[in-house]
A = this chain, B = another copy of it.
Amino acid sequence: MQSNPEIRIGVDIMGSDSSPELLLHAASDLSASLPANVKLIAIGHPRFEHLSKLPLKAASETIEMQDAPLIAIRRKKDSSLCVGLRMLREKEIDAFVSAGNTGALVSYAKVTLAMLPGLMRPALLAILPTKRNPLVVLDVGANLQCKATHLVQFALVGAAYQLARGVKMPSVGLLNIGSEALKGTSELRTAYQELQRLSKEPEAFFRFAGNIEGKIVFDGNVDVLVTDGFTGNVFLKTAEGLANLILDRINENLSGDMAQNMQDHLQDLHSHLHYAEYPGALLAGVKGVVIKCHGYSSPEAFSSGIREAIRVVGEGFLQILQNKLFNRKA
């Protein structure tokens, strides 16, 4: 019997809105239930070493939430965030999970890990529930403004992610304000044409579903939804806010067991919509698996981010994406 290859996950316990103790505890608890081939390595200040049941890689500094990202990554090279990403580059770990400063994580990942050939910018990729299959949305916050080229590259990344999850010929849509080809900004119109062209190439690995409006996104007719980081972030947070409003209304209108029952059922939906909380967003496009958990991750959400990292490594997302990009260039 072939044994599974070892999977090593670096876990940043610093710099989030949760305490390092809480995140360390969550990771330790999770560790006990993981298969033997998965190793977690905590990364954080040495003062937490005596608390840790996991091996701890010492990092003397911490990038805080309110730190300016570009300054922080220059000045705090021994922060857990920077140390973790360098460990990933040096292949000391197979994935890195952090609930720290998003801007710093994106920027330092880009310079330290570098982009995969054929890609220009990393994107934050989230998975959402729909009426049918889970939907991949990117970018949900790494790039405020995007050119058509970036959007097209996000489409390739998202499609490769769904391929890795086992979806054959994933369908890709562009988030837009109408379904017609001429809707939206000029960048969206250019991206539309280019995606249509690419989807007809012999080596195409996705179908192009055209423009998709927010109101039909949750019907689950596409596997990948492409958008710029500003719109994608508004999209996700709006979904979260509305889920909240509806849960509230249900609370007002149902009582006792029935309310609890319905709440439990919809809570799952709500948690999933709380994007970077559960199961975290993948920073996609860089040479390495990086999962960004929400700044105020609960222990469950943080564990869920670690599980996501294990899954993405196990499914071979990076290799699949790299192969697809290489085929396109060849």
Contacts and interface: CB of A to CB of B under 8 A. Distances in A.
Interface in A212-251: 213-219, 229-231, 233-246, 248-250
A241 B253 contact: no
Interface in A188-221: 213-219
B238 A217 contact: yes
A47 interface: no
A176 B234 CA distance: 7
Given A249-B266, A265-B249, A185 B230 contact: yes
Interface residues of A, number: 46
A215 B231 contact: no
A236 B215 CA distance: 8
A245 B266 contact: no
Given A215-B244, A262-B254, A249 B237 contact: no
Interface in A44-95: none
Nearest to A178: B233
For this chain, the copies found in one complex come to 2
Contacts of A258: 254, 258
A145 interface: yes
A216 B241 CA distance: 6
A258 B258 CA distance: 9
B218 A241 contact: yes
Interface in A128-166: 129-131, 141, 144-145
A273 to B, nearest CB: 8
A153 to B, nearest CB: 21
A262 B250 CA distance: 8
A237 B215 contact: yes
A217 B237 CA distance: 9
A212 to B, nearest CB: 10
Interface string A281-303: 00000000000000000000000
A135 to B, nearest CB: 11
A230 B254 CA distance: 36
A181 interface: no
Contacts of A254: 258, 262
A316 interface: no
A314 interface: no
Contact of A246 (B144, B217, B231, B266): B266
A130 to B, nearest CB: 7
B241 A243 contact: no
Contacts of A241: 213-219
A214 B238 CA distance: 4
A240 B214 CA distance: 8
A177 B233 contact: yes
Given A239-B242, A250-B250, A262-B262, 5 more contacts: A177-B229, A217-B238, A217-B241, A219-B244, A234-B235
25 contacts: A129-B245, A144-B184, A144-B185, A214-B235, A214-B239, A214-B241, A215-B237, A215-B240, A215-B241, A215-B244, A218-B242, A218-B244, A231-B234, A235-B238, A238-B242, A239-B239, A239-B242, A243-B246, A246-B246, A249-B266, A250-B262, A250-B266, A253-B265, A258-B258, A262-B262
